[in-house]
């Protein structure tokens, strides 16, 4: 048995030994902790850097419409009526008189089938081809007439997960048939239908767009979209990352070609509007740079 006089010294000695033991243990563990690894910078997406229009020379995907029928490995018919959110009058079909090939061109034809009754076609690459950064050219000859509404445009490929307008919409070209000497390029965005926003330009031209073919282009880079007509080197419109929040336009998008009839954009056809009306498309081409 320890005497009372010796206990404090023994306790002090034991405490010091315990502290030294804990200190040694802690030091050993610290030595074994791996050093933090700095995060790997994200790999830039292909073609995310902006280049001049003519630098996009590598043809990645195209449809020249030289076959006898629509290539359904590239396009899907989007079918149905119901106004399409704009009080439109047409029913989209897959009928041969609404979509066909002629002279190396795709023809999308709007027909009148009765009073305020029309058929047409709407073709999409959704599920078959999406496009991110690069240049898209569409060479087309447009229809005209009050209430005729041709469009070359794009929607975010994630539309089934992020409904419009959250997915984003890129209108490369829309034409009011009553005004064939101008067209619109418009960006649509927002967090919900109630938050829908849009920004764009009306582009006047010194010719009737129904009289000849013209090339409508968009070049997409990270946080930047530039719009061109007929290969001119200077864009007539630019849309940047500061123009929309959130900014969905760095995501993959699919292409849409259609001719609508009636609705909010140009109103309904009038007695002087003649049918059928056709949008003829020479090609759709997607380029990137090396």
Catalytic residue among 88, 174, 182, 211: 174
Question: 3-state DSSP call for residue 228?
Answer: strand
Active site residue 174: yes
Say how far apart CA 52 and CA 17 lie, in whole Å: 74
The two beta strands, 117-120 and 90-92, are parallel
Q: Which residues pair with 200 in a beta bridge?
A: 186
Residues 180, 29: Cα–Cα separation, whole Å: 77
Which residue in the list 169, 182, 211, 232 is annotated as catalytic?
169
Annotate 113-172 with DSSP letters as a single string.
EETTEEEE-EEE-TTT--B-SEEEEEEEE---STTEEEEEEEEETTTTTS-TTTT-EEEE
Residue 49 designated active-site: no
Q: Do residues 149 and 175 lie in contact, with contact meaning Cβ atoms separated by under 8 Å?
A: yes
For 69, 105, 131, 267, the CA distances from 85, given in Å and listed in that order, are 30, 29, 25, 14
CA 256, 261, 262, 268 dihedral sign is positive
The runs of H, that is alpha helices, within the chain are: 7-32
* CB contact burial 128-164 (16+ within 10 A = b; e otherwise): ebbbbbbbbbbbbbbbbbbbbbbbbbbbbbbbeebeb
CA distance 138 to 230: 10
Annotated catalytic residues are: 169, 174
């Amino acid at each position: 048995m320890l005497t009372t006089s010796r206990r404090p010294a023994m306790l002090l000695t034991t405490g010091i030994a315990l502290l030294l033991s804990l200190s040694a243990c802690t030091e050993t563990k610290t030595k074994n902790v791996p050093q933090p690894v700095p995060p790997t910078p994200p790999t830039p997406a292909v073609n995310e850097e902006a280049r001049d229009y003519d630098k996009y020379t590598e043809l990645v995907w195209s449809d020249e419409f030289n076959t006898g029928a629509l290539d359904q490995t590239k396009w899907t018919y989007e079918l149905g009526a119901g106004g399409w959110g704009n009080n439109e009058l047409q029913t989209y079909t897959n009928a041969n008189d609404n979509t066909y090939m002629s002279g190396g061109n795709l023809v999308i034809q709007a027909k009148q089938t009765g009073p305020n009754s029309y058929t047409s076609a709407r073709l999409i690459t959704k599920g078959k081809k999406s496009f991110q950064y690069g240049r898209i050219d569409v060479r087309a000859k447009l229809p005209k007439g009050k209430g005729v509404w041709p469009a070359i445009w794009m929607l975010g490929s994630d539309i089934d997960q992020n409904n419009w307008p959250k997915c984003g919409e890129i209108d490369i070209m829309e034409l009011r048939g009553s005004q064939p000497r101008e067209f619109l390029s418009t960006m649509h965005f927002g967090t919900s239908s109630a938050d829908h926003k849009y920004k764009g330009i009306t582009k006047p031209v010194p010719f009737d767009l129904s009289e000849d073919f013209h090339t409508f282009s968009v070049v997409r880079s990270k946080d930047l979209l530039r719009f061109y007509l007929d290969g001119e080197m200077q864009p007539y419109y630019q849309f940047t990352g500061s123009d929309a929040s959130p900014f969905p336009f760095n995501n993959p998008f699919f292409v849409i070609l259609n001719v609508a009839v009636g609705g909010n954009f140009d109103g309904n056809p009038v007695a002087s509007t003649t049918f059928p009306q056709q949008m003829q498309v020479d090609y759709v081409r997607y380029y990137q740079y090396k």
